[in-house]
Structure 1
Amino acid sequence: MLMNLDKTLDLIRQIAESTVRGEADAVDKEARWPEQSMRQLQQEGLGGFVVPLENGGLGQGLLGLAQACEILGEESASAGLCFGMHCVGTAMIAAKATAYQKKHFLEPIAAGEHLTTLALSEPGTGAHFYFPQTQLLSVSKDEFMLRGEKTFVTNGGQADSYVISTMGVDPEAMQHEFSCVVVEAGSQGMNWGKDWDGIGMRGNSSRSLALKDVRVPARNLLGEQGDQLWYMFQVVAPYFLTAMSGTYLGLAQAAFNQAREHMMHRTYRHSGMSLSQNQLLQHRLGTLWAKIERTRQLIYHACRQYDSGDASAILSIISSKAEVAHCCVEVVNEAMTLSGGIAYRDNSRLETLLRDARAAHIMAPTTDVLYTWLGRALLEQPILES
C-alpha cells in the first residue's frame, strides 16, 4: 500500500482520534499495553511505516516518524512510544538487512504480521545504555548464545522480535566491538520480569528481560560483529530520539489544548467574564503556544536535516529530545495552573499528562546526558566517554 506522507498521517490521525483515544483511559488506569491501537495501526498497513518501499513498506523517514508519534502521543503517550519503538526496531533491522532478514522480518512487518522493538538498557548501566554487558557467545558458525539482562524494554512481552545490543563475541571485546542481534519472541531462555507499573507512561509494557543461554541463529546478527556503535549513531540515536521527541511534543500539545479549551469555556458567575478575556491569561497561553511551536520547528528541522543526508543533523536531533523534555514538562505544569482546581482533581486528563510528561527527562538518554553530548561534540571531543 503506497501513500504519500500527508495521506499516511491523515490515516494515523483517524486511528488516533478513534481507537487510540478510545482506549487511552483504560491504558493508563489499568497499565494496559495499547493493543487495540497497535493492532489497528498494523491492520491499516502502518506497521511498515519505516520499512523500505522495495520491501513492501511505506518508506518514511524521520520527519514522518516525528509527525506520526506526535499525532499518536497527543491522544496517548504510551501508544505513541510503543509505535515509535516498533519503528526504531524496524529501522535497525532495515539498515543493513540481508536477503534473509528482509524476507523473514521486514516483509512480515510491512504486512502487519510482525511487531518488533528495541532492547538496549541494562541494570547497572543507568543512562549509559550504549555500553551493554549482555554476552554474545559463539556456539558454532551458525549459532550464537546470549547471556544477560535487559531492562525497560518497551513493548516487552508483546512484540514478535527484539533488537538486542550485546558485547562482542571475544570476552576481551572493547566498546567498538559491540554487536546487535534480533531475538525472536518465545525463544527458549527468555524470561520476562513483572508487568510495568510506573507512575506514568503506564501502557508501555516496559519490562525487564533475562536472557539465559538463549540460542540465536547467526543470520540474525545485524550488520557485522562490532557494528553496534555504527548503529548507535546512524540509526538508534536518530530514530529513537525522534520517536520520543514526537511523542512528547504531542503530549505538550494535548496539555495546551486542555488549557485553551478550559479558558474558552470557563466564565466567572459573579462577573460574567470569560477567562479568555483576561489579558494576563491571554499572555500566558500565548507563551505556551510559542514554546511548543519553536520546539516543533526544531524537531522538524532536525528530521529534515537527517532525511536529506546532512551529517550535522545529529546535533539537532540530540537537542530536540532535550528541548522537548523541558517543553512538555513546563507546558503541562502551566496548563494545570491555568486550568485551576478542576485540573487538579484525581483522574483528570492533565493529571495523566503530568505523570507521563515527567518521564521525558528520565528516559535514557537523559536530558543531562544529551546536553553533555552536545557540549562534547561542539568542543570536538568524543561524544561517548572512553
Structure 2
Amino acid sequence: MDILSSLEPIVRDLIAPAAAHTDSQAVYPRQALQALGSQGLLGLISAAEVGGMGAGLPEAVQVVERIAQDCPCTAMVLTMHYCGVALIEPFAAEDTRRSIAQGHHITTLAVSETGSRSHIWAPTGTAAAQGQDAVLLNAQKSMITSAGEADSYVWISRASTGEGNTLWLVDSRLPGLQIPSRFDGMGLRGNASSPIIAKDVAVPLACRLGEDGQGEDVKTRYLMPYFPTLIATTSVGLMQGVLRRALQHVAHTRFAENGSGLADLPTIRAYLAKAQLKADQARLLRDDAVQAVLAGRPDAKTRLLQCKAAAAEAALEVSDTAMRVCGGAAFRKELGIERLFRDARAASVMAPTTDVIYDLLGKALCDAAA
C-alpha cells in the first residue's frame, strides 16, 4: 500500500506552505483535512467493509510522521482523529463509520478533564441515566484537540453504575456542549485545543463504545497501540523537520572574511551529530514499539510508554539544538525553526506526561525486583 505517494503532494502543495499561517493565526487546518479526506487518508484505518483503506498502525505512523516534518499541528489533529477512529471502529454505527471512511467526518478524543488533569484514567465527569435509553453527560474537559471543529468526540466519563469509566461517541453539535474559551497557546496553535463544558448533554445509550464501566479495558485493547505511538511519531517527524532546516542553514551560511562556513566549525558539527543521534534513537524505539504491538510481545505496553516519553524529551533537546546552532537566524519566522521549537514543547506535557510515564515505568521496575 503506497500511502506516501498520495500524501506527498498534499504536504508539499498545501500543508507545508500553510504551516506558518496556521501557526501565526491559530487557524484550524480544515483545508488540509479536506484534502486528506479526498485521498481516503481520514479513513486510513477504517475497515474496507465500510469504504476505508483497511490499514493499521504502521501506515498511520507513516502518514503522521511525514506531515509532522512540516506541520506538527496538523499531524496532532490527525493523530487524535486516528485515535478516535480506533475506538469508533469496533463499536459505532455503520453510518458513522462510513462517513469517516469517506472523509466526511473528523473525530477526536475528549479525555482530559480539569479535575483529573494528566490522570486520564480517572475522569470526574458523569453519565447519569435518563430513562431507559439515554444518559446525561456532565463534565469539564480541559484541553481537547479539535474542540468545536470535529464532528464528534470520543468522550470518557465515570461509569453510569458501579466502578470504572465508560466511553461514548458524542455528536459535537448536541445542545449543552459549550467551549468557554478558544486556544491561544505557545505551540500547536492551530489545533483548537480548548476546554469543553458539558451540561446535561443527552446521549443515546446506542452511542456507548463498549460496556458500561469497561472504558479502561476498551482503551487498552483498541486505543493504546495508537495513542502513545502517534504522539511519539509527531515528535519524531518534528525532529526530522527541524534538523533538516538547521542543516540547510548551517550548510549554506558562510563568513565573509574568509569564506568558511558554519559547517566548518567542529562545535556546530558535534551539536548536530548528537541531535541526529537523539532523533534516530527515538525513531528506532518508536519502530520497536510498533513491532511489539504487531507481534503481540509481552513488553508492548512498556515499549509504548517508553517511546512516547523518549520521543517527547528528545524533541525538546533536538529543537533546542537547532535553535542554538542557527543562532539569531533561528529566531526569525522564515526559517521555521522557532515554530517547531515551540511545537516540540507540547508532547512532554500531554497526558500521560513524561513525568507520569517515568513514575509508571519506575514502579514497574521496582515491583519486578521486589
- Please report the TM-score for the alignment, with normalisation by the length of structure 2: 0.95
1:55–1:102 Cα contact (<8 Å) kept: no
Task: Indicate conservation of the 8 Å contact 1:65/1:246, yes or no.
Answer: no
Matches within 5 A, 1:46-61: 46-61=41-56
What SS does the aligned partner of 2:53 have? Answer: coil
The residue aligned with 1:152 is: 143
Whether the aligned pair in 2 keeps the contact of 1:51 and 1:106 (CA below 8 Å) is yes
**Structure 1: 5+ residue stretches without partners:** 382-386
2:158 aligned to 144, 158, 167, which one? Answer: 167
Q: For the residues of structure 1 that align with 2:233 and 2:333, how far apart are their CA atoms?
A: 27
Q: Residue 126 of structure 1 aligns to which amino acid in structure 2?
A: R
1:298 deviates by: 0.6
Of 342-351 and 181-190, more deviation after overlay is shown by 342-351
**Paired residue for 1:310, among 297, 300, 318?**
297
Residue 13 of structure 1 corresponds to which residue in structure 2?
8
1:375 to 354, 362, 365: 362
Q: Which of 271, 294, 319 is matched with 1:332 structurally?
A: 319
Equivalent residue in structure 2 for 1:275, among 242, 262, 268? 262
Please tell me whether the aligned partners of residues 145 and 215 of structure 1 are also in contact (alpha carbons under 8 angstroms): yes
CA distance in 2, matches of 1:314, 1:90: 20
1:260 aligns with 2:260: no
Instruction: Give the corresponding residue for 1:384.
Output: none
Alignment of 1:96-115 (within 5 A): 96-97=90-91, 101-115=92-106
Q: For 1:292-318, what per-residue CA distance to the aligned partner results, in whole angstroms no more than 9, with x for missing partners?
A: 111111101101211232242111110
1:25-44 to structure 2, matched below 5 A, reads 25-44=20-39
Deviations 1:313-367 (A, max 9, x none): 1111100110011111101111111111111235651111111111121111110
Paired amino acid for 1:356: D
Shift of 1:51: 1.2
2:67 aligned residue: 72
- Distance verdict in 2 for CA 1:182–1:92, change over 3 Å: same
Q: Does 1:141 align with 2:132?
A: yes
C-alpha separation in 2, matches of 1:50 and 1:140? 35
Counterpart of 1:358?
345
Q: Taking structure 1 as reference, are residues 323 and 264 closer, same or farther at Cα in structure 2, changes over 3 Å only?
A: same
Deviates more, 1:327-336 or 1:10-19: 10-19
- Once the two structures are TM-superposed, the CA of residue 254 in structure 1 deviates from its matched residue by 1.1
CA distance in 2, matches of 1:231, 1:19: 36
Q: Aligned pair in 2 of structure 1 residues 376, 236: CA closer, same or farther (>3 Å)?
A: farther
Which whole-Å deviations, capped at 9, do the CAs of 1:199-258 have from their partners, x for residues lacking one? 111011011111111111111101111111112322333211112111111111111111
For residue 223 of structure 2, what is the aligned residue in structure 1?
236
Residue matched to 1:190:
177
**Matches of 2:335 and 2:247, distance apart in 1:** 15
Asked if residue 81 in structure 1 is aligned to residue 76 in structure 2, the reply is yes
RMSD of aligned alpha carbons = 1.5
Identity over aligned pairs, percent: 32
4+ residue runs over 3 A deviation:
345-348, 378-381
Q: Deviations over 1:58-94 (max 9, x none)?
A: 2222222222111111111110000110000000112
Look up the match of 2:113. Answer: 122
Shift in CA distance, 298/186, structure 1 to aligned 2, threshold 3 Å: same
Q: Secondary structure at the match of 1:195?
A: coil
Confirm or deny: 8 A CA contact 1:343 1:351 kept in the other structure: yes
CA distance in 2, matches of 1:332, 1:34: 23
Q: What amino acid does structure 1 have at the position aligned with 2:7?
A: I
Q: Say which is worse superposed, 138-147 or 159-168, in terms of deviation.
A: 138-147
Task: Tell me the CA shift for residue 279 of structure 1.
Answer: 3.0
Aligned pair partner of 2:87 in 83, 92, 114: 92
Structure 1 residue 281: deviation in Å? 2.3
CA distance in 2, matches of 1:300, 1:192: 37
Taking the aligned partners of 1:12 and 1:372, their CA distance within structure 2 comes to 38
Q: Deviations over 1:241-294 (max 9, x none)?
A: 112111111111111111110111011111111222333322322222121111
C-alpha separation between the residues in 2 aligned to 1:58 and 1:356?
30
TM superposition shift of 1:32: 0.9
Aligned residues: 368
The question of whether the paired residues in 2 share the 8 Å contact of 1:66 and 1:245 is answered with: no
